[in-house]
Amino acid sequence: MRRAICSILLVFVLVSAQAAIAVTPLASQASTRSDDCSAGFAARLAAAYREDANPAATDPEAPAPKRRGLDSPFPSPPFPSSEWQLGGMDYPIGVPNENSQYPLEKALACTAFGRWMTDNRIEMYGWINPSMNLSTSRDTNYPLAYATRPNRVEFDQFLFRVERVPDTVQTDNIDWGFHFDNLYGYDYHYTTMKGVLSNQLLNHPTAYPDLPGKTYGDDPMIWYGELYVPWVAQGMAITAGRYLSLPDIEAQFAPQNYLLTHSILYTLDAYTNVGVLTTTKLSDHWTVQFGLHGGDDSAPWDRTSRLSLQGCVRWVSASNNDMLYPCVESYNGKAQTYNNLQEFVLTWGHRFSERVHTLTEAYRLYVIDQPGLPPGRAPAYGVVNYFNVELNPANMISVRNEWVKDAQGQRTGFATRYTSDTIGLTHWVSQDLELRPELRYERSWDLNAYDGGRKNHQATALFDVILHY
């Protein structure tokens, strides 16, 4: 039944997208416009999709949005972001909010609620993300993530977002913002925080012995407030609440990734924190971050929580061609609880041109005195590289290669070394629709760790759709 529901949703997404992009520019001109307030909401929503599928020509003489700092290093699209990474906030300090206006906001613009949102710089949007995979494994694809269940269609993410991004370009006054994301779908298995609706994952009976919790669940993934103070150095942002762990190339959200699947390295480390984080811009080249949080993937009110330190430094070269981002993601020196990681990460980015860049991340993480393992540290090490190429403004290709060592099997259940090699394409049909085919091969080198320990390798072919709304 669940598989049938997922299949229907996938067909619905594809048919809707096809209907939107099949409309000719002439028909689009004769149809209702998204800003036609005499039309109904559904008609304006459909018009917004048509307009995005057949965008009007841009004015090359139009001034670029004001920003305070170096230019954007990459075009987005086709890349998932136009900025060097910086965790804990939507945009680096000095970078304007360049988020596209998606169909829901366009359709709401005529309403009193939509006008109120516009007047107060509040945005509301999200995406739907189904996928399918074919695998050489029979029972499980793990440690491949998030497509853990082999040979099926999956409903990965329905993401709803409301946010207000503070204006960090200006330096005249304090500004504020907030961010709220709610995720429903299969991917909640990886995002859930202990103490935040975690019973549906940790204390729910399941028909799958190796798959805890409900098949599909809900996670209020991100919720924080933000205060921007322009007079500290070149600007400081104070973030308080639940935010994404800082250092990774990858993120939980489908549109923010270069590939459909995640690296093993990413699968094994921290996902979210609840705490207070400061991000301070010292210059166009240096940014520092310091924070306190309740431990990785544990809410401060849960008994598994441990007060942890966090700190990062980001450096960007004068040429904008290189970025270094060393981070202590989490450190408290305490024994293992739910996921009490001690994690140290370094990310390096290099831009060969606006169309070609590479990102490399390495880490060492460990837990202390894991029950069932010898006393002391149970470490994991890993390095991953992304090589990313823009083929044209609507298409990018990414190649990912990685090596990971789970020294005592604490992270994956198998004490072995892993490699994985992945290639994937992102095709932007319009600003509202992304298609992502992918091929992946991986291997465990010291013992059988795939398909529940039956074999030492796995090959997968995958495809997903991201429909923005």
Q: Give the angle subtended at the CA of 431 by the CAs of 430 and 433, to the nearest 5°.
A: 60
Is 79 a member of any domain?
yes
Question: Got the DSSP string for 34-62?
Answer: TT-TTS-HHHHHHHHHHHHHSPPPP-TTS
Is 55 a member of any domain?
no
pLDDT digits (tens, 9 = 90+) for 411-433: 999 999 999 999 999 999 999 99
Torsion sign across C-alpha atoms 194, 198, 202, 203: positive
CATH of the domain at 129: 2.40.160.10
Is 7 a member of any domain?
no
Is 369 a member of any domain?
yes
Residue 108 has pLDDT above 90, yes or no: yes
Q: Are 432 and 77 in contact (CB under 8 A)?
A: no
Strands 342-353 and 322-331: antiparallel
Q: Are 356 and 388 in contact (CB under 8 A)?
A: yes
pLDDT digits (tens, 9 = 90+) for 204-251: 876 555 567 899 999 999 999 999 999 999 999 999 999 999 989 999
Taking the C-alpha atoms of residue 240 and residue 225, their distance in angstroms, rounded to an integer, is 5
For residue 439, which phi and psi values (nearest 5 degrees)?
A: -125, 140
Q: Cis check for the bond before 216: say yes or no (omega within 30 of 0).
A: no
Confidence of residue 60 (pLDDT cuts 50, 70, 90): confident
Is 30 a member of any domain?
no
Is 129 a member of any domain?
yes
Is 40 a member of any domain?
no
The H or E element containing residue 114 is helix 112-119
pLDDT digits (tens, 9 = 90+) for 4-24: 444 434 444 444 444 444 443
The H or E element containing residue 404 is strand 395-406
**Which residue in 193, 341, 187, 319 sits closest to 254, CA to CA?**
187
Range of the domain at 362: 69-468
Taking the C-alpha atoms of residue 417 and residue 287, their distance in angstroms, rounded to an integer, is 34
pLDDT digits (tens, 9 = 90+) for 382-413: 999 999 999 999 999 999 999 999 999 999 99
Taking the C-alpha atoms of residue 445 and residue 440, their distance in angstroms, rounded to an integer, is 17
pLDDT at 208: 53
Counted domains in the chain: 1
Is 34 a member of any domain?
no
Contacts of 420 (CB under 8 A, 6+ apart): 144, 263, 264, 400, 401, 402, 440, 441, 442, 443
Residue 97 has pLDDT above 50, yes or no: yes
This model's pTM is above 0.85: yes
Beta bridge partners of 135: 460
pLDDT at 378: 97
pLDDT at 11: 42
